[in-house]
Amino acid sequence: MMRFGQHRRRMLIVLGVVALTGVITAALGFVMLKTTYLSSSTQANSDLTFPADGFINTSSDHQYDRALRSSLRFFQERTQIRLGLILQDHLPTGLSIEQQAVQRFATLGSAKQAALLLIWSEQEHLFKIEVSYQLEGVFPDALCRRLEQAARTFMLSSAPFAKRDFLTEVIVTMGIDYLDFQKSGQVHAMAIPSLSPLASMSQHFSGGAGIVGRNYAATLEQVQAAVPALSAELEHSMQPDQSLDLVLQRYFDSLRLGIGSPRLPLLSEGSQFFRMNKPHTAAYLQRMYRYYQKSMPYQIQQKEDLAVVKFPLNSPVQPILMRKNAEGLWLIDEAKAWAYFHLYEDGSSHPKFDSGPFAFAWRDQASVYYDRIVPPKLNGHADHASDASSNIKQGLQAAEARIQQHPQDAQAYQDLAEILQFDMYWIQAAAEMYEKALSLAPQKSELHWRLIDIYANTTDIDAEEKHYLALLKSTPDDALLKHYYAWFKKNYE
């Protein structure tokens, strides 16, 4: 059913660490928006003059130019800070990165304007931040040095998307912190980007075309083995419980204390795996806590073994999704909050789908994709507090076994993708399985919509456009599709 409502907005996409609540990628910066029906390569000039959007890329890698350029423009529109980003394969002859930063910063804008400059030099594995004196109180030298050091981890990663993740995360997080400073007058600890353990397994995920499945169950065991156990005191104080209110308060306490461990017992098993993929730093969690406190009061809507903790409209937080495990104890499901909701950069949060197991709590809101995507039913693998690892792993093993037995069955790949996306929010991995399913069943238009959603969240703009164009060819009269693509083209020229 067609519905009409609000204007379209940019979405805060992050693959895990930069959003105001819950995880993203970052997000790293995801960048699509919700709307209603009513409503390439960048080459520097010879003198390296900054273009209007502040983006200069003289490197050999232009895969993420459109996403980064758009993030720069939006950052500048929101903050009125002049932001420049230089990507290069190597430093200019005879210049250190510090010398280059001083030279280039002088050409970025007027001396009276607040300004930031980011320089990424691939060959030397160097990242440099230059800050105007107007911003030194918000982004002090100590913070900039920590960000510069953090960049090296991403530069040395084998993951092809590591650079994009880091830069998008830094841009979005700096924007959030600056706007928060303007409102509160306080400088809070900035969330330093942290590389996912799975990034080092990128070759495992992106293997050759002849490989089916990716043995994700075994990958879970590898990642779990690297996660340290909680202290006995925290293990005891963060347990699930029959009291929904008590579990919710314990969750708030974990955010306040900055406990980012994937082994937090009150998290659903999918959320524990989600945190293994997208690390939650203490500063990020404490930011979440501050925004939840600003968004009080909340109301709880419950239906049988599911509950949604909702905050007032336009609060800068996502709802908190909760579910009971097989023992009747309440758990927090962070992974599903990210699978089912978009958090926009204007601070509002919207459900993605008209239907789904938690949809009883948002009948009063228009969804992002309306009925174009129908999420799966909750999986049959109940969450057991006594063994928080076996159930999803068993589901993954069963799905991968079906793929091995029926390698040309599109539904088998879709089933695996749905576990990765909706139960664990491993969306980079889910995208690969959806792409394989679509190659086997090109008539399934919903798979294009699912991939648009995923690529919007991973800021893979070219891949996102590919699926828009495929849908425009197969369903040219879809008004929602045409409206979304018009916005897409406007923002990613």
Question: Contact at 8 Å (CB) between 135 and 116?
Answer: yes
| pLDDT at position 27 over 60 | no
- pTM, two decimals, is 0.84
**Which domains are present in the chain?**
55-199 (3.10.310.50)
Close Cβ partners of 182 (under 8 Å, ≥ 6 residues apart): none
| pLDDT at position 37 over 50 | no
Give the span between the Cα atoms of 110 and 112, in whole angstroms. Answer: 5
From the list 75, 67, 70, 46, the residue with the least C-alpha distance to 58 is 46
Give the span between the Cα atoms of 463 and 291, in whole angstroms. Answer: 33
Looking at residue 52, its pLDDT comes to 92
Amino acid at 449: W
From the list 457, 458, 468, the residue with the least C-alpha distance to 490 is 468
Q: 128: helix, coil or strand? A: strand
∠ CA 155-160-163, nearest 5°, is 40
Distance of CA 214 to the CA centre of its chain: 22
Looking at residue 279, its pLDDT comes to 85
DSSP H/E element including 120: strand 115-121
Task: For residue 297, say if its preceding peptide bond is cis, omega within 30 degrees of 0.
Answer: yes
Instruction: Look up residue 379 and give its DSSP letter.
Output: P
Instruction: Look up residue 475 and give its DSSP letter.
Output: -
E strand intervals along 377-477: none
More confident residue, 386 or 88: 88
For residue 487, name the pLDDT band (cuts at 50, 70, 90): very high
Looking at residue 165, its pLDDT comes to 85
Q: What is the pLDDT of residues 130-163, one digit of tens each?
A: 999 999 999 999 999 999 999 998 898 777 778 8
CA dihedral 91, 96, 101, 103 (to 10 degrees): -100
pLDDT (mean) for 433-447: 97
CA dihedral 202, 206, 207, 210 (to 10 degrees): 170
Residue 25 sits at φ, ψ, to 5 deg, of 165, 65
- Mean pLDDT (the chain, rounded): 84
The owner of tokens 């230059």 is: 130
Looking at residue 462, its pLDDT comes to 93
Distance of CA 288 to the CA centre of its chain: 15
Give the span between the Cα atoms of 403 and 415, in whole angstroms. Answer: 10
| pLDDT at position 301 over 50 | yes
| pLDDT at position 2 over 50 | no
Query: Tokens representing 63?
Result: 């895969």
Q: What is the pLDDT of residues 317-364, one digit of tens each?
A: 999 999 999 999 999 999 999 999 987 766 678 899 999 999 999 887
pLDDT (mean) for 262-289: 92
Which of 191-205, 386-400, 438-452 has the weakest average pLDDT?
A: 191-205
Question: Contact at 8 Å (CB) between 435 and 467?
Answer: no
The two most distant CA atoms of the chain are separated, in Å, by 68
Question: Contact at 8 Å (CB) between 27 and 168?
Answer: yes
Q: What is the pLDDT of residues 174-221, one digit of tens each?
A: 998 999 999 889 998 888 888 876 665 444 433 333 334 567 777 777
For residue 285, name the pLDDT band (cuts at 50, 70, 90): very high
Between the alpha carbon of residue 410 and those of residues 137, 395, 402, 429, 439, the distances in Å are: 54, 17, 11, 16, 8
Query: Tokens representing 159?
Result: 């993951």
Looking at residue 48, its pLDDT comes to 64
Looking at residue 112, its pLDDT comes to 86
Looking at residue 484, its pLDDT comes to 96
| pLDDT at position 21 over 50 | no
Looking at residue 161, its pLDDT comes to 78
pLDDT (mean) for 250-277: 94
For residue 10, name the pLDDT band (cuts at 50, 70, 90): low
Looking at residue 212, its pLDDT comes to 46
Query: Tokens representing 336?
Result: 């599903």
pLDDT (mean) for 422-451: 96
Q: 130: helix, coil or strand? A: strand
